[in-house]
């Protein structure tokens, strides 16, 4: 599955190749996707190449071959995400079995628990979630965990996390945070010396310190569904 930015970049490259026979420059890609630096474009290009959508031709400037296009280019867009988390609370989120009173939630894609990815833009499937995980009339969505940066919280690769949509957080909350408008991550939220710390739950990953204007809270973790 591709993220929104990956899809946008692939479409940009494909359209330019169809029209002019040459891929856009990295500066043109950066401006078209409204990114602050070309490093973000390098990550997107690498991700597309690793997933088999493009191939970079060696020793040739701006030489990119589009190998295939995803079905997502023909779908309606939807939403945001990525991942990681902080040191374990007294007890990890409880993994609950799905019961007869389950409700259906959209799974908005995967959380890359460890390696940052661009914000995910579309629902990929639905999942039945215990009604007891959902609070009041708030909107909720689900995400699939991928990676190991949340293991000290008892959140493992392949688990599904349930997220309540909200734009505020208290210290210690595990949140979906949108970083600089395009990179989303699931981590523990903490205010620290006038900055926002996004903390992982695996000592192999460093805490990220960001300015308040670089972080937008998208939701808070409220439940976990274990994958066996």
Print the SS3 string covering 90-111: CCCCCECCCCCCCEEEEEEEEE
Are 103 and 131 a contacting pair, CB within 8 Å?
Answer: yes
Token pair belonging to 158: 């392949």
- Which CATH fold would you assign to the domain 4-74? Arc Repressor Mutant, subunit A (1.10.10)
**pLDDT for res 4:** 73
Residues 68 and 130 sit within 8 Å (Cβ to Cβ): no
Tokens read off for 190: 């903490």
Q: Provide, for the chain, the percentages of residues in helix, strand and coil under a 3-state DSSP scheme, each rounded to the nearest 5.
A: 20, 35, 45
pTM, to two decimals: 0.54
Helix (H, G, I), strand (E, B) or coil at 196: strand
CA-CA-CA-CA torsion sign (2, 190, 159, 148): positive
CATH 3.10.180.10 fits 103-225, yes or no: no
In the prediction, which pLDDT does 68 show? Answer: 84
CA atoms within 13 A on the CB side of 37: 6
Q: How far apart are CA 105 and CA 74, in angstroms?
A: 22
Structure tokens at 26: 């990295």
User: Of 68, 104, 149, 227, which one is the catalytic site residue?
Assistant: 149
Domain boundaries, the chain: 4-74, 103-225
Q: What separation, in Å, do the N-terminal and C-terminal C-alpha atoms of the chain show? A: 22
Which residues contact residue 214 at a Cβ distance below 8 angstroms, ignoring those fewer than 6 apart? 179, 180, 196
For residue 46 the two structure tokens come to 């690498």
Task: Note if 149 is an active site residue.
Answer: yes
Question: Coil, strand or helix: which one is 204?
Answer: coil
Mean pLDDT of successive 10-residue stretches along the chain, which has 228 residues:
77 85 84 84 84 76 78 41 39 45 67 50 67 74 78 81 89 88 84 92 90 91 77
Indicate the SS3 state at residue 169: coil
Q: Cα separation of 150 and 170, whole Å?
A: 19
* Per-residue pLDDT at 78: 30
Provide the pLDDT for residue 77.
Answer: 34
24 vs 20: CA distance, rounded Å = 9
Identify the active-site residue in 38, 68, 91, 187: 187
Other CB atoms within 10 A of residue 95 CB: 16
Pair 122, 109: CB distance under 8 Å: yes
């Amino acid at each position: 599955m591709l993220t929104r930015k990956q899809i946008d970049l692939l479409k940009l490259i494909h359209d330019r190749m169809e029209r002019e026979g040459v891929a856009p420059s990295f500066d043109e890609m950066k401006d078209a996707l409204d990114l602050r630096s070309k490093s973000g474009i390098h990550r997107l290009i690498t991700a597309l190449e690793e997933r088999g959508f493009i191939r970079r031709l060696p020793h040739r400037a701006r030489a990119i071959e589009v190998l295939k296009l995803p079905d997502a280019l023909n779908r309606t867009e939807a939403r945001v995400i990525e991942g990681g988390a902080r040191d374990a609370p007294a007890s990890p989120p409880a993994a609950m079995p799905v019961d007869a009173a389950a409700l259906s939630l959209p799974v908005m894609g995967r959380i890359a628990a460890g390696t940052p990815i661009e914000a995910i833009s579309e629902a990929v499937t639905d999942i039945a979630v215990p009604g007891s995980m959902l609070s009041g009339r708030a909107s909720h969505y689900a995400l699939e965990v991928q990676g190991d940066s949340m293991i000290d919280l008892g959140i493992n690769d392949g688990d599904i996390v349930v997220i309540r949509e909200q734009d505020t957080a208290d210290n210690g909350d595990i949140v979906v945070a949108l970083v600089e408008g395009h990179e989303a991550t699931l981590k523990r939220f903490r205010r620290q010396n006038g900055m926002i710390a996004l903390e992982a739950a695996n000592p192999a990953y460093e805490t990220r310190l960001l300015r308040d204007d670089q972080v937008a809270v998208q939701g808070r973790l409220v439940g976990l569904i274990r994958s066996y």
